[in-house]
Amino acid sequence: MSEDGLKPLYDDQVDEEVYKRGSQYKWTKARKSDYNDGSNSNGEAPPEKKVKYEDKPLSDENGKPVEKEPRLPKRKVAVMIGYCGTGYHGMQHNPPNLTIESDLFKAFVEAGAISKLNSTDLKKNGFMRAARTDKGVHAGGNLISLKLIIEDPQIKEKINEQLPEGIRVWDIKRVNKAFDCRKMCSSRWYEYLLPTYSLIGPKPKSMLYDTIEQGKKELPGVLDEDNESKQFWLDVGKHMSEQFSEDELQAIKSYIPPPKEQFDGTDETYLKVKRYKQIENLHRRQYRISQDKLQKFRSTMQQYLGTHNFHNFTLGKDYKEPSAIRYMKEIKVSEPFVIGDAKTEWVSIKIHGQSFMLHQIRKMISMATLIARCGCPADRISEAYSAQKLNIPKAPALGLLLEAPVFDGYNSRLQKFGYERIDFSNYQSAMDSFKMKHIYDKIYKEEVDENVFNAFFSYIDNFDRVTGARGEETVDKSGLSVQRSIFEFLSARGIQPSTTTKTDNSKKDTSQAPKEIPVTNTNVENESQEIPQDTES
């Protein structure tokens, strides 16, 4: 108010903060420079604008400029391939490691299917795979989708000329631009090769053998009497008695290898132990499975068909997770066949599933094999779909390979667009010949050289002794509440429900969720795998 108190006074000066709220205050320096006739506040000319991308000329290894290639049209294609994974760090491109995709990409460039300009990055070509396999895992059929230059009618032959013998391109098919081979894959076939001696019952006096026999006494009639395995071990024992005295056999069974720095390969007891194992291995390779035992294994594998909760057949999945539900469409167990210089008998197991989780196939094979070895009823598989957590070991990765991805759901759409179906059965003869030469022979040889499956199941049979994973009766726990073996679910007692009660609903009960069984002493793991791995897809 003024001094006379009659009129209020107004300040017509606008506060400087008002300008800061205006649009000019928010201008960038570049725009202000343009508004001020291209000069900055110091009256200097604005700096030249930087060029984000420069079209630099291509140069060879010596730095000399290379003439640009003519631009040729690229087409979206599906490339059907097969490969032996030995020596590779898996399927997926992972520099500087040698992978299947790195050799494929190099061959595409050298054959002219990918231009030099696009030879530095897979993403420029829209590279995608239907199934990723891990280190050392093979594939009779797999598929990748990308953009290639396919004007040359001999392009497939030229690509194969640039590839090593362990990788083959079966065909190249045109597909529509929206094709994504991973998402469009409706199901997958996997194959697992298993030596039949893996189905022989646990060795007498082993921890798993004792668990099985004790269960038979407590609950008679639950488990099968495996007379075939009993006769096998009687024949082995008879042969050993002919080769060694009682004192020598006792020394062999109680032999403990010394530390590595003190090991003596000429030690007399060690040489006897070595000879003992050779005789055992000879009997295993001479073993021929009976039709009754083979049928038991087949009926056990059939328990996997349909939609089930496979949370016990993978890692990190809870019973209540929807992603643990998987659908198995078809399972085939071949007739036994004898192959290789060692004359070992094998069976081929083929599993057709909509999708698989990490280690799922290897755990499925392991569970079915253990049930057949221990004489459990086949429906023990169905009980494994319950909420009770089981510790199922992974079978060796050696026998696993990807047979082929299936695109049944998308093939009808391809035909509507005027493209050919993607069907690996059209190349079955070439795939079988390739697998026999580059995959099967390597599996058979490695199994004989390393005794992979024998080492695995021997380790499982004595797992409780090696790790001390046996429960003991106490005042609070006795009888059925005591876990006598980590593999007690294979005994006559079966899969026991958890007896632990939760005192605090906010805390998750982990007492019945055992850790993954380590198999480091079996010479079977090269787990970037997972299997095949047998990875989630």
130 and 81 part of one domain: yes
- The CATH number covering residue 382 comes to 3.30.70.660
| Domain annotation covers residue 136 | yes
312 and 441 part of one domain: no
Among 65-74, 205-214, 335-344, 431-440, the range scoring the smallest mean pLDDT is 65-74
Q: What is the mean pLDDT of residues 41-56?
A: 52
Residue range of the domain that includes 119: 69-184+420-450
| Domain annotation covers residue 320 | yes
Nearest to 81 by CA among 7, 167, 156: 167
The pair of three-digit structure tokens given for residue 360, joined into one six-digit string: 């799922």
387 and 429 part of one domain: no
Q: Is 19 left (phi over 0), alpha (psi -120 to 50) or beta?
A: alpha
Where would I find the H helices in 287-440? 291-301, 360-374, 380-383, 408-416, 428-435
pLDDT at 522: 38
With contact defined as beta carbons under 8 Å apart, do 192 and 361 qualify?
yes
224 is catalytic: no
Tens of pLDDT, residues 55-83: 555 565 666 766 666 778 889 999 999 99
Residues in the chain: 537
pLDDT at 143 over 70: yes
212 and 333 part of one domain: yes
208 and 93 part of one domain: no
Tens of pLDDT, residues 247-273: 999 999 888 888 888 888 888 989 999
Tens of pLDDT, residues 453-503: 999 999 999 887 655 445 555 555 555 555 567 888 999 888 877 544 343
With contact defined as beta carbons under 8 Å apart, do 98 and 86 qualify?
no
| Domain annotation covers residue 172 | yes
Tens of pLDDT, residues 287-305: 999 999 999 999 999 999 9
Q: Is 440 annotated as a binding residue?
A: no
Q: Look up residue 386 and give its amino acid.
A: S
For the question of whether the overall pTM of this predicted structure is more than 0.85, the answer is no
236 and 363 part of one domain: yes
Backbone angles phi, psi at 192, to 5 degrees: -130, 125
Higher pLDDT: 497 or 207? It is 207
CA pair distance 457, 529, nearest whole angstrom: 20
| Domain annotation covers residue 94 | yes
441 and 298 part of one domain: no
231 and 174 part of one domain: no
163 and 215 part of one domain: no
pLDDT at 354: 92
174 and 238 part of one domain: no
The 3-class SS string of 35-69 reads HCCCCCCCCCCCCCCCCCCCCCCCECCCCCECCCC
CA pair distance 348, 362, nearest whole angstrom: 14
Helix (H/G/I), strand (E/B), else coil: 355: coil
| Domain annotation covers residue 436 | yes
Of all residues in the chain, the percent with pLDDT exceeding 90 is: 51
| Domain annotation covers residue 145 | yes
The residue whose two tokens read 């995959």 is 439
231 and 331 part of one domain: yes
pLDDT at 426: 92
390 and 357 part of one domain: yes
**Domains in the chain: how many in total?**
2
Residue 129 burial (10 A CB sphere; 0-12, 13-18, 19+): buried
Catalytic residue among 134, 171, 226, 534: 134
